[in-house]
Each structure stands twice: as C-alpha cells, then as structure tokens.
Amino acid sequence: MGQVKLIVSNWKMNLNLLNSKNLIDDILKIRHSESFKHIICPQHLLIPSISGLLRDSKIIIGAQDCHYEKNGAFTGDTGVDLLKDYDCEYVILGHSERRNYHKEDNKLIKKKVDLVISANLKPIICVGETITERKSNKYLEILGNQLDLCIPNKSEEIIIAYEPVWSIGTGLVPSYEEINEIYDFTDKFLKNKKMTRKLNFLYGGSINSENFKEIVNKTKVNGALIGGASLKTTEMKKILTFC
C-alpha cells in the first residue's frame, strides 16, 4: 500500500444537529479503504457532539478555522485550546472563503498557522488563485506569495491544500497537468527554501465521486479537501471505499 491519503470533509456552514448526526451515523457504517485517513471538519458548534460520535472510530475531527491568539477579548472567535478539548487534530486555515468574506490575509493566516503548530495541532493551509489571476498568468506568482508568507518555519510535515478559487463549488476542475504543475511548483518551492519537510499536497475544488478516482490516480496529490460532496452519504461512500 502506498502513502495513506488524507480525505478532508469541509462541511462549511451546513448541517444542523440532527442531520449532522444522521450523516455521521451513515458514514460510520462505511467500511473505509485503509488507503485513506478521513478528517471531518464541522461548524464549531457541532464539534462537541460530532467529536463524541467519532470517539471510538478511526475518523478524525478537525476545525474549519481558529483565532490566532490562544484566548482573550475576541468576541465570537474560537481558540485552539477548546478545539483540543474536543479532540480536534487538524485545523483548516486560509480557506478562500475566509480570505474573501473575512478579509484574512497571508500575514494573519501565518499567525494562525504558528499558533496551531505550537498547540500541537496540524494546519491544513489552503492556497489558490482566482480566475482573473489564472487568466492573467500571474497564478504562480500569487501561489508563491501565499506559500512564502503562510508556510511555518517549524513543523516536520506541511499540509497544503491547493484550491483554485474558480473551482470551489463551480463544477470546474483543473486538468491533471494543471494540478501536477502546482504540485511540482510547491515541491520545488519548499526545496528552494531548504525545507526538506514532508509535503502532503491535497487538491480541493468540485471533487465528487466521479472525478475523485481519476484525480487520485492521475496526479501527484496526497489527498483531497471536499466541500459539497462531503455532505452526501452516497458520494462519500463511493469516495471512501475507493482504493
């Protein structure tokens, strides 16, 4: 068996208490392929109940974001210690929806990345270009900048999720060559920075059970970040049982 691939479910701001429990019930019945490690990232308020339901399973719980300070006067935010209290192991950071709607920039994302690592959690760092940036051929410059400013100085493993903004929720997926180009770019970037750390490179954007197999087989990715399809039992069953 090759390297175990990460499958990250990003539920975003979806599901209530009842239908999230129903989805977990269904997912727990699936006999996961041993090739995958499944991480589920629900809304913060769902984390306590979902964490309890996953306790005796191999599925891991993660968060969709956190604050860059451990605690303090930050109304409405969530700190890393509480995430750890509920067994979270991973935190998605720098998702384009947070960059866009919450105006998070690379500097702020880096602060979160550093805090998450110091708390012994693993950041899943999202990078990706807009359609305008891709069309103007500036995408490598943009991605290089995001990597440069968001990648931690310390940590043995780096998890990068390449999520082109134009692919998220649109049904548009880059070609295998385009995904591999960004894999090679990221790998070279880390080597140039003398970062000989393990790279876990995920792809995210309009993944479904149909395109998943091909993306995993025909590109160099080490896993996937899945939004819309992660809310559907039938889709997740096909994805998680594929080896």
Residues in touch with ligand PEP (CB under 6 A):
10, 163, 168-169, 204-207, 225-229
- Measured distance CA(111)–CA(67) in Å, rounded: 9
Contact in structure between 70 and 79 (CB atoms under 8 Å): yes
Give the shortest CB-144-to-ligand PEP separation in angstroms.
21
Q: Which of 97, 129, 133, 163 is catalytic?
A: 163
Nearer to ligand PEP, 197 or 238 (CB): 238
Give the shortest CB-99-to-ligand PEP separation in angstroms.
12
The per-type count for the chain, helices as H runs and strands as E runs, is: 10, 8
Nearer to ligand PEP, 10 or 146 (CB): 10
Give the shortest CB-196-to-ligand PEP separation in angstroms.
28
- Measured distance CA(87)–CA(47) in Å, rounded: 9
Give the shortest CB-67-to-ligand PEP separation in angstroms.
20
- Measured distance CA(7)–CA(240) in Å, rounded: 8
Nearer to ligand PEP, 79 or 94 (CB): 94
Taking the CA atoms of the chain, what radius of gyration do you get in angstroms? 17
163 is catalytic: yes
Q: Which of 167, 197, 201 is nearest to 181 (CA)?
A: 201
The closest residue (CB) to ligand PEP is: 227
Q: Which of 95, 97, 104, 235 is catalytic?
A: 95
- Measured distance CA(238)–CA(233) in Å, rounded: 9
Nearer to ligand PEP, 10 or 186 (CB): 10
The burial class, CB within 10 Å (0-12 / 13-18 / 19+), for 237 is middle
By annotation, the residues acting in catalysis are 95, 163
